[in-house]
Amino acid sequence: MPVHKLVEEFKIDPSKVFDYLDSLYDNIKRVENKIQSFITIIPQETLDRYVENLIKENKHRIDNLKLFGIPIAVKDNISTKGIRTTCASKMLENYVPPYNATVVEKIMREGGIIIGKTNMDEFAMGSTTETSAFYPTKNPWDTTRVPGGSSGGSATALASGEAPLALGSDTGGSIRNPASFCGVYGLKPTYGLVSRYGLIAYASSMDQIGPMARNVVDLAILLSVIAGHDPRDSTSVPFVQSVDYVQELYKLYHKEPKLRIGIIKEFFEGSEEPVKKAATKAVDLLCSYHECQEISLPFSKQIIAAYYIIAMAEASSNLARFDGVRYGMKIDFTNRSWDEAFTEVRTKGFGYEVRKRIAIGAYILSAGYRDMYYIRALKLRRVLKERFDQIFKDHDIVVSPTMPILPPRLGEFFKDPLRIYLADVNTVAANLVGIPAISIPVDFYNGLPVGLQAMAKQFSEPLLLYVAKQLEDRTGFRDILAQP
């Protein structure tokens, strides 16, 4: 049952929350060992007690709570007070944050329940959830394949019915990629719309937290809860107050404005055949009503290069805070120099991919290379932003496949690591220029989901929800569960 209906049921009879938790935990018991969505699952007794309190304390205002009784799976790089937050890294294996991220605070204030912390690529560096220091998560549609990443566990928890809503984070596609590979909806909001306070940073100028769900209305509910200005995040945009995205969505949905849709030629040409076919079919559905036109976004390879340059540069600086002296991995530094102790903790605490990205980040920021790579990438970033500004003068949204490929088999990408980076070609642009982007599940090919990506100009989330809802109506892709 979708979240928006569950909430109504729970409000009429709060005891139904316990029944729902029963069925949810039964399902987790059944599927979790096959897919491993979670790093930490809160025991059911703990949640039952939490819900008892929630009902007692909110007796007279249950009707106002947008997420009353709804369990939510949270990616393990989002801080949760009293709940271990590992970033899927040995470095933070036993780290328990003393505070909640703003998004978690907001969810709890609306009666939402944190059910667990989901697996991810270590420090969100990866596109398959295989770089997790603990174990890879499997795709519930085919457990020999990856679920995508880095928010892989959040996507699989949704697709296999372990949670009805989830939070992910997206630096270069980390919400949209697993949403696409697992057949769920995922939205990367406009940069600055959702507070990053309490999100453990990877590349701060591109990181955004966003909602993931099994249908569009649920996606809009969670977005409404987490969006809005937060003084504790200096990059949170001050002019955005609270918006009811469900209302905004329905306004558009009933008015049915005809949009001007741009179809990104290069992103279709670069996709493998089954993906291209499925995405084209979905685009045809949209174009039977809206006005469509092919557009061009050249320099695909250069855009990926710019993205990884900026991401790794920011990462090498951001991850310098993990020194083991105050929190995180503990080492004995008696009679040892700073360099020695620091080297040991970073070498033991970080996995291979993280260490590699820090090293490359340091390289491109080092004397002689900074202007050549980092500054040049930032210049290209402005050119790209101007190109998108131009595109959005004549188009309301632009569409492409979310991923150019179907979910690869586990381990397949490790043979050629550059291929993993290149597979991010369609998603990184939205992060470079800070615009919102959604992945909409549109079809299956041989049992594997295919997603369509739509992007719009900054703060146009309602437009993306609107086209997603139109597609959801036509494809019937709603609340579909995998049976792993």
Partner 1 sequence: MLSSSDSNILEYLERLTLIKFNEEEKKRVYEEIKKVIELFNEVMKVEGLDNVEPLYHVVEIELPLREDEVLDAIDENHELLKDNAILENDYVKAPKTVGA
CB distance 157 to 212 below 8 Å: no
Strand 113-118 to strand 71-75: parallel, antiparallel, or no bridges (unpaired)? parallel
List binders of partner 1 among 418-437 (CB under 8 A). 418, 421, 432-434
Neighbours of 475 (CB within 10 A): 16
From 48-56, 102-110, 172-180, 377-385, span contacting partner 1 (CB under 8 A)? 377-385
In the set 59, 60, 255, 326, which binds partner 1 (CB under 8 A)? 326
In the set 264, 275, 358, 425, which binds partner 1 (CB under 8 A)? 358
Shortest reach from residue 21's CB to partner 1, in Å: 29
CB distance 89 to 351 below 8 Å: yes
From 112-120, 257-265, 381-389, 392-400, span contacting partner 1 (CB under 8 A)? 381-389
Selected catalytic residue, list 174, 224, 316, 400: 174
| CA distance linking residue 49 with residue 42, whole number of Å | 12
Helices (H), 85-243: 102-109, 152-159, 176-182, 216-226
Nearer Cβ to partner 1 (166/304): 304
Selected catalytic residue, list 66, 75, 117, 469: 75
From 16-24, 29-37, 102-110, 339-347, span contacting partner 1 (CB under 8 A)? 339-347
Residue 212 host element (H or E): strand 208-213
Shortest reach from residue 16's CB to partner 1, in Å: 36
Nearer Cβ to partner 1 (291/340): 340
3-state secondary structure of 439: strand
Nearer Cβ to partner 1 (140/361): 361
CB distance 310 to 318 below 8 Å: no
Structure tokens at 271: 């996709």
Shortest reach from residue 363's CB to partner 1, in Å: 6
| CA distance linking residue 389 with residue 385, whole number of Å | 6
Structure tokens at 267: 């992103």
Nearer Cβ to partner 1 (42/305): 305
Selected catalytic residue, list 132, 150, 195, 300: 150
Binding mask 192-211 for partner 1 (x = CB under 8 A): x------------x------
| CA distance linking residue 190 with residue 187, whole number of Å | 9
List binders of partner 1 among 61-100 (CB under 8 A). 94, 97-99
Nearer Cβ to partner 1 (306/448): 306
Give pairs for 32-36: CB < 8 Å, separation 24+: 32/162, 34/138, 34/140, 34/143, 34/484, 35/137, 35/138, 35/139, 35/140, 35/143, 35/147, 35/156, 35/160, 35/484, 36/119, 36/135, 36/136, 36/137, 36/138, 36/153
In the set 257, 382, 447, 473, which binds partner 1 (CB under 8 A)? 382
Residues binding partner 1: what is the number (CB under 8 A)?
Answer: 71
Shortest reach from residue 302's CB to partner 1, in Å: 5
Cα–Cα distance list, 221 to 3, 7, 243, 249, 287 (Å): 9, 11, 10, 10, 27
The yes-or-no answer on residue 174 being catalytic is yes
CB distance 215 to 183 below 8 Å: no
Shortest reach from residue 382's CB to partner 1, in Å: 4
List binders of partner 1 among 101-140 (CB under 8 A). none
Q: Kindly state whether residue 381 participates in binding partner 1, applying the rule CB under 8 A.
A: yes
Strand 165-170 to strand 208-213: parallel, antiparallel, or no bridges (unpaired)? antiparallel
Nearer Cβ to partner 1 (314/443): 314
Cα–Cα distance list, 255 to 206, 248, 271, 461 (Å): 33, 11, 34, 16
List binders of partner 1 among 162-191 (CB under 8 A). 191
From 160-168, 250-258, 362-370, 475-483, span contacting partner 1 (CB under 8 A)? 362-370
3-state secondary structure of 118: strand
Structure tokens at 418: 């550059």
Of 101, 139, 141, the C-alpha closest to 117 is 101
From 9-17, 24-32, 217-225, 372-380, span contacting partner 1 (CB under 8 A)? 372-380
Shortest reach from residue 210's CB to partner 1, in Å: 16
Shortest reach from residue 319's CB to partner 1, in Å: 9
| CA distance linking residue 50 with residue 471, whole number of Å | 38
Of 179, 118, 123, the C-alpha closest to 403 is 179
The yes-or-no answer on residue 277 being catalytic is no
From 42-50, 119-127, 164-172, 370-378, span contacting partner 1 (CB under 8 A)? 370-378
Shortest reach from residue 164's CB to partner 1, in Å: 31
Shortest reach from residue 412's CB to partner 1, in Å: 16
The yes-or-no answer on residue 180 being catalytic is no
In the set 34, 109, 232, 251, which binds partner 1 (CB under 8 A)? 232
From 18-26, 251-259, 346-354, 437-445, span contacting partner 1 (CB under 8 A)? 346-354
Nearer Cβ to partner 1 (281/385): 385
Query: Which are the catalytic amino acids?
Result: 75, 150, 174
